[in-house]
Amino acid sequence: MKLTSLSSLLTILSICTQPAQAEDRSPERVCYDSCASSLSTVHFDDMLHNQTNFMTKTCYSPKAILSLYLCLDIYCTPGARKAGLEPLNETCIEQAHVVLPQFSIISNFTDEDKERIHRLERNEAEASLTFSEVMIPSETWFGIWWDTLDSVAYTYTHHDLYGRAMIIFWIVVVAIGVLNHFMQQIANSQIVRNHSSKTGGRLWSLYTSTLNRVAVPATFGDRCAQKVGWGTVPPRIQSLTLFAFLILNIVLSIHGYRIVPINMYFPSTAKQILRYASDRTGVISFANFPLIWLFGMRNNLLMWLTGWDFGTYNNFHRWVARIATAQAIVHSIGYTALIFVEGGWDYYVFWWSYMFWWVGEIATIVMSLLVGASFYWIRRQQYELFLVVHIIMSIILLITMLAHVSIFQGEYDVFFWVPCFIWVADRVIRALRIAAFNPKLWDTWATSVYHPTSNIVRLVVPWSNSLYKPAPGTFYYIHVLNGPRCWESHPFTVAAVTDEGQRGAKLLGEQVPLLESGALEQTTDGDVSQEVFSDSRTMTFLIRPYDGFTSRLRDTASAEWPKNVPQRVLVDGPYGHTQPLHLFDHVVFVVGGSGIVVPLSYLQLLTNNPSSPRTVKIHWAVREPAFALDVLKTDISDALGSANLSVEIHLTTHTPQDDLHEWPTQVVLRRGRIDAAAVVTRASERVDSESLAVVACGPAQMADDARRTVVSLLKQGVKGVEYFEESFQW
């Protein structure tokens, strides 16, 4: 049993490594290999007994050389000689120190001579006989090897082609995104130059309307931001793209095989299918690795080229990884089944003595665990743990995959090195972003304060040393260096930016004309009349504390209440895009809780400018009145005087009427949750044929209600309405 197993193992390994050694899979090479293989077991009486390798023992045997030449002359085209004899001659020179004779040596053989030469049959070739005369493989025996090797060449060629097809698919997808983004940029520049409406001409309006009807809707029903089962479902256009990619993977995993009646490597049809399908899924799975790493990085050039956000590429990252994992599982199961069919349990155990086998099994297990540990609930509840586990297991996966494909002598190593390069490049660019924000990496001091009544941490970070000014709608990853876990970071959207000459970001307690002293007293737990970074350049983050990173920020800030707490931070950013909201005639924000940072981020761009939208409406649902008052006083006070801005606050918790009478008159107060559908519908009715941007940021149901209403308007033929959803997708 052991010898049989070893023989089968060597046979499988020989065909497994063949593509790496002989990349030429042309018909000429197949024909040469068919002649060589059909004669490989023949022992001529002029061969050296100490030679076991067919190539080297052929070098020493004139009869073997003549037999090979005659086979090539009868069955193959002249191109086969060059394809096979040149490598054979190099081997003879290097290993046997013998030069092959010229092919013209067989010119003395007439057609009659060739006819009289004995034709070698399969039973003779497999009988381990010694022959004393030149012979030629019979047409049947040669044909069996031709079918076998042609099947291998055809199938392995399709392995490589279909592996590349994964990359080509996403090149096409990204090219479409780049083209669309380029057209959007041209249209936006024309709007600015011509002072025209965002609705544009008839053709452009038709294009954007059609695009939005595909891009905006949820995939199934109305749920997009809300979770469905154990996770979330991407928007329709993303789901369609991923579904097309899934279908492509399935089709290419089952197409492109050439099954032959007699295969010298895998005698039965079942073995051929198991082997070829296992190889195909393994190649395609590994070919997806560069895509998985590229789509999962923060610093993804494709985001800038296409205008798609991190959430879009994160969805691509997760689903490509899931598809690749499914293929890896099929690959492993297929090979396991093949081994059991070949030799049973003992043979299966025997394979575990080979490194490439057991590291491949580990790689499949790690991939499966990675997918299992990446479900929505785990990412949301234990993100820091998820991230650490994700990185460690990804490193293990790459190392085991490199060891697994080592038998191919470097042919597939590119799928290891590209992810490594992407990962290193991402880390380098992160470091450059941090240095660009402040070259003195250790010397960025922020101040934080936590207000128990508003349940918000206000983090103010100076950007005076930054090479760039923070832009609306962008977000930064913050590391707290003097905290217990300085290696952890968290993304936060910029709520407000002050430049030189502007008033610094103010904390609770400072008087502003819009708020009477009575209202102010409701918002403070003590006397905090303080201005930080006065007349300096700062950016402000409003952070709702939950678990993990944000809870530690809260605990640090609340320990010093009512004082401001200095925090040594690293700032990595900016990330994200500034949406062209200023090009719309009307903008309506539907936000909840700390989602107010999105309209705050755009306020300077959308108000008090000649090119500002005609109306900017903020509908904000908030639980804590103190939080709302803090934002009104500190962040919106200057903008409330703008003629185009209106603010409507929905208090979702019971608040005594006496606590509300001194709020600024420019703000409309309502009780209860926001009816996002009604808000969007009313906004669309008031704008007539002008352009309208609907921006949602907040609870998942609120965002989905706004999305559903915009989709309904688009179906009704309403023109000029576009939907933007601002949320960070873990």
Tokens read off for 585: 């005639």
Is the predicted pLDDT of residue 509 greater than 70, yes or no? Answer: no
DSSP per position, 590-612: EEEGGGGHHHHHHHHHHSSSTT-
Write the DSSP symbol of residue 532. Answer: S
Tokens 């005609």 belong to residue: 614
Whether the Cβ atoms of residue 578 and residue 472 lie closer than 8 Å to each other: yes
Between CA 258 and CA 264 the distance in angstroms is 14
Following CA atoms 420, 423, 425, 429 in sequence, which dihedral angle do they give, to the nearest 10 degrees?
Answer: -170
Name the residue among 431, 398, 184 with its Cα closest to residue 299: 431
Q: Where in the chain is the domain with CATH 2.40.30.10?
A: 437-575
Identify the burial level of 723 via C-beta atoms within 10 angstroms of its C-beta, where 0-12 means exposed, 13-18 middle and 19 or more buried. Answer: buried
| Beta strand segments in 9-137, E | 43-44, 118-120, 130-131, 135-137
Q: Where in the chain is the domain with CATH 3.40.50.80?
A: 581-725
Residue 53 confidence (pLDDT):
64
Contacts 24+ apart (CB under 8 A), 159-165: 159/19, 159/256, 159/279, 159/280, 159/283, 160/19, 160/283, 161/256, 162/252, 162/253, 162/256, 162/280, 162/283, 162/284, 163/283, 163/284, 163/286, 163/287, 164/287, 165/248, 165/252
Taking CB atoms within 8 Å and a gap of at least 24, the contacts of 190-197 are: 191/583, 192/583, 192/611, 195/611, 197/585, 197/690, 197/691, 197/720
What's the CA gap between 498 and 463, in Å, rounded? 9
Please say if the pLDDT value at position 655 is more than 60: yes
Please give the structure tokens belonging to residue 395. Answer: 């490193």
Mean pLDDT of 524-528: 38
Per-residue pLDDT of 182-230, as tens digits, reads 988 888 777 765 556 565 567 777 777 778 888 888 888 888 878 777 7
Q: Over the stretch 560-597, which tens digit does the pLDDT of each residue have?
A: 777 788 989 999 989 998 999 998 999 999 999 999 99
- Give the mean model confidence (pLDDT) for residues 41-56: 74
The whole-model pTM stands at 0.87
CA torsion sign for 206, 211, 216, 219 is positive
Instruction: Please tell me the least confidently modeled range out of 129-143, 201-215, 224-238, 458-472.
Output: 201-215
Q: How many residues belong to the chain?
A: 730
Mean of pLDDT over the chain: 85
Would you state the pLDDT for residue 351?
Answer: 92
SS3 sequence of 355-367: HHHHHHHHHHHHH
Alpha carbon distance 338, 347 (integer Å): 10
Name residue, tokens 């997009």: 224
pLDDT of residue 197: 59
Which segment of 395-399, 549-553, 700-704 scores lowest on mean pLDDT?
A: 549-553
| 409 has pLDDT over 90 | no
**315-357 pLDDT per residue, tens:** 999 999 999 999 999 999 999 999 999 888 989 999 999 999 9
pLDDT value for 195: 59
Q: How far is CA 265 from the centre of its chain?
A: 38
- Cβ neighbours for 543, distance < 8 A, ≥ 6 positions apart: 456, 457, 458, 459, 492, 550, 553, 594
Give the model's pLDDT for residue 666: 79
Selecting from 3.40.50.300, 2.20.28.270, 3.40.50.80, 3.30.70.100, what CATH number does the domain 581-725 have?
3.40.50.80
pLDDT band at 9 (very low <50, low <70, confident <90, very high): very low
Query: Does 2.40.30.10 match the CATH number of domain 437-575?
Result: yes
**575, 580, 723, 727: which is closest to 236 by C-alpha?**
723
* Predicted pLDDT of residue 54: 63
